[in-house]
Amino acid sequence: MRILGVDPGLRRTGFGVIDVDGPRLRYVASGTIVVPPAQALHARLKVILDNLREVARDTRPDQAALEKVFLNTNPASTLLLGQARGAALCALADSGLAVQEYTALQIKKAVVGTGRASKEQIQAMVRHLLALDGVPAPDAADALACAICHAHCAPLAGRLQALAPETLSLRSRRLRTGRLIS
């Protein structure tokens, strides 16, 4: 399975692609889309959209993972980040990819083991987990970490989803009989 991870931002959008074979992770590509700040907002969003489409076309991922937006103290910044995420989501959807979203806390816990990990800790663990020769740039490292998080979480989510019909069946039997079934 090939996963494209995206760390969206209006100034810098990181991307990272990994291959997953069971417990093995292999680095494929990563980088940062630098968006010219002097351009109008619609043009900046188009840069993100076009470049992520190109990354998806060139690397041919099977799935995508995207960092969820967090509530910022500055509402204007939060709205702009949301628009960058929207452009990224559109690029991924237009590329025919299923997209899973993860919070920064989920990504940090999956990669480093703590939700309070620093950028440097994320970079170091991404380098270690993917056996890279050097430390990836911060935005690319965050995107690779998002892909790694998905690689770790997707198998469990798939198993839970497969159990959903069985769980619903038990729940409906409980409702009909009024008894708790263990």
67 annotated active-site = yes
Is 7 catalytic? The answer is yes
Q: Exactly one of 67, 101, 120, 133 is catalytic; which is it?
A: 67
- The verdict on whether 139 is a catalytic residue reads yes
Active-site pick, 58, 101, 120, 139: 139
Distance (Å, whole) CA 171 – CA 65: 31
Residues 110-133: b if buried by 16+ CB within 10 A, e if exposed: bbbeeeebeeebbbbbbbebbeee
Q: Which of 7, 94, 101, 120 is catalytic?
A: 7
Q: Which structure tokens are listed for 148? A: 């790694």
The catalytic residue positions are 7, 67, 139
